[in-house]
Structure 1
Amino acid sequence: MENIRIAEISIAVTRKTVKNFNLKVRIRDGTVAMSMPAAASLGEARAFAASRLDWLRRCLERARRLQAVPDLWARPLAYEDGAECWLWGRRFRLKLERMASPGFRVEPRARQIVLLLPADSAPALKQRMLEQCYARQLRIHASALLAQWSPLLGVQVTGLGIRRMQSRWGSCTPATGRIRLALELAKRRREALEYVVLHEMAHLLEPNHSPRFYAILDRHMPDWRSRRALRDRPLEDESG
């Protein structure tokens, strides 16, 4: 591992058997890492990082905000009956029910996420069931958004992946048309999810954060900046 510095930002660089440069900002601790092709030079790495300097600064500022007011997602969750959890920007409670086969259901009116579990289930199983619930909710809503935005943007999304992410809300592969979303988005308001979906779909038209990319956002979602702010701020229940 090597280190480079771009302006005020220190970046840990690792050479790998990859074709492209890749930057990651760890939101939890504000560190920056880059993977680069093994044959590339540090000068090329510096040039790539410099071209992403505005993006890096935005990510690091977001990291500082979230570290100042810790995000509820980062707090250990007590997987007990009545424990607080979140779905689509609203505070819910876990309800544990004993069942022979694991499962889950969402009861929006009661503000409950019900986990169906065998007696004396380990916390790891409870966590897995809750994450499956989030993933299902996210896939349902994201799939509807993809169907809505595809004809408007003129792009075809070939696959939707949902996974835990430490430093991003989403990613895409323009060459294949595949989009990935962070599992944590299920806890944010739906307006924030729609922004992230549009953001990643716009990258299928323009891979970089260029003026053309932001012009796509401005044209199709004029309020994208306020939606991005909803995505980034600490969770709070606004629904009463």
Structure 2
Amino acid sequence: MQCHLFPTNSWFIIFLIIICVHAPSSAFSDDDERYLSCVKSFDCGNIKGVGYPFSGSDRPDYCGYPGFELGCSNQDPEITIMQLSYKLLGINNQSRTLNVSRTDYTENLCPTLLSNTSLNPNLLSSTSDHAEVTLYYGCPSPSPAGFSAQFTCNVNDSTGMMGYFITVNLSVLSMTAPSLISYLTACNNSVKVPAHLSAIMPILPNPTVAQLLEAIYQGFELECSANDSLCDTCKSSGGQCGYNQTTTAQLVVNVSV
């Protein structure tokens, strides 16, 4: 899977032509070493055969693009996005999409730290199958009549913190339940957690905590925001793509071994 936005300035194209060469098979060169390193794939759990733009395990940093480093913990592949850890659930090479879920919401709605999900728009963007669950923490008691989507947990050293969750936008609630809007804005914190829209829609009428956790566990989809025609061409000819950490330029290494 290739997910890198290539610069279009002329010097960069020249650089690509220079390094996308066939090294002599009789002499071992730096290109040979990089090729042999980057031809290895990342394998962890059910995720197999992962290549560029990802690095990790037997794939050195220069075999992937910054921001796409993978880890493997207890056969669970993980990726860090904007300082938050996500479990990598799947990769679709054809659509250039990833399916990920937040590791801090795997078992309950009470993470150690409260952090919103954020993305680098230059690397990743949400797909059409996207919804956001808003979790509210430190809400006043009692709650409005008829509002039962609640949970209790200890977050940020607070004991018995009351929390609520909603699966619709506040703009919708402002028209249907203005008193609930006033209540939720009085809560101490809120966190937005993405999920598949297709997983949220069935539980919209009356979601339970268990149903919400299951929807979050199914993850959400991200699309690599890039055009990789040059890298695709090199790979189709038997080459390997990487990233020069020193010059911050794309490496496209095509060698004979």
* TM-score normalised by the chain length of structure 1: 0.25
Higher relative contact order (CA 8 A, sep 6+): 2
Higher Rg of the two aligned structures: 2
The structure that is helix-richer by fraction is 1
